[in-house]
Amino acid sequence: MSNPLEDYFNAHTTGPGIWKWRHYFEIYDRHLSKFRGTAVDVAEVGIYSGGSLGMWRDYFGQGCTVHGIDIQPACARYENDWTKVYIGDQGEPRFWDWFKTLVPKLDVLIDDGGHTPGQQSVTLDKILPHLSPGGVYICEDILGKDNPFGDKIGKLSSDLHANVDIHATDMLAMGLTPFQRMVKSINVYAHVAVIEKWDTPPARFEAPAAGTEWICNAPEWK
């Protein structure tokens, strides 16, 4: 099946450079296709040679505003009518405080910046709460089996399972933790993590039973 991002990449034989792992294109499309044709605000950390800015605009459509972030002042040249460029250090929390005052609405952030665990961690901590309901955070290039940022993503994944006591007397409905109210899912792929926020979180997690026949006795908490 054709992937519009990979099609764009394959056809982009001249002009500003794009450098992506090929298996990323399927991941992007899986999690970002819902924003196509909408007035989406997308930020990419790591402008480099500027080619991916045009790729995102082509993918999301003319209603898209692209926010490019880079530490190199030379990248300011890529600003145009639909691309805003912000020069700063993604590993500096104060940069993100400044950025958020200028970009109060942000739906998607793609971190293809400095690639160090410290930079990735600061970016996640500062931006995830700022993303709009239904927003998507993607971090690329989480490299190495013992990567500390990969470990952080694993810890966040376990936080989605919090607030459950299998010995509780009432397992049919449980309130959500603040993290569970914010985050709907965490997906991990080779070198990539994707965090999606709820559009509207449920009031509680419920586990009703249906039917009258059971092959064996239900667990005590049922």
Query: Does the pLDDT value for residue 3 go beyond 70?
Result: yes
Residue 110 maps to a domain: yes
Domain count across the chain: 1
**% of the chain residues with pLDDT over 90:** 82
pLDDT digits (tens, 9 = 90+) for 142-151: 999 999 999 9
**Beta carbons within 8 Å of 40's beta carbon, 6+ residues apart:** 60, 63, 64, 65, 107, 108
Query: Does the pLDDT value for residue 37 go beyond 90?
Result: yes
Residue 217 maps to a domain: no
pLDDT category at 212 given cuts 50, 70, 90 is confident
Residue 212 maps to a domain: no
Locus of tokens 């959500």 = 176
Residue 220 maps to a domain: no
Residue 211 maps to a domain: no
Crossing angle of helices 4-11 and 51-60, rounded to 10°: 140
Domain CATH code at residue 56 = 3.40.50.150
Q: Which of 125, 140, 132 is nearest to 197 (CA)?
A: 132
Locus of tokens 């690329």 = 140
Residue 75 maps to a domain: yes
Residue 218 maps to a domain: no
Residue 10 maps to a domain: yes
pLDDT digits (tens, 9 = 90+) for 104-122: 999 999 999 999 999 999 9
| Per-residue model confidence (pLDDT) at position 79 | 97
Does the pTM of the predicted model rise above 0.75?
Answer: yes
Instruction: State which residues form the domain around 142.
Output: 4-206
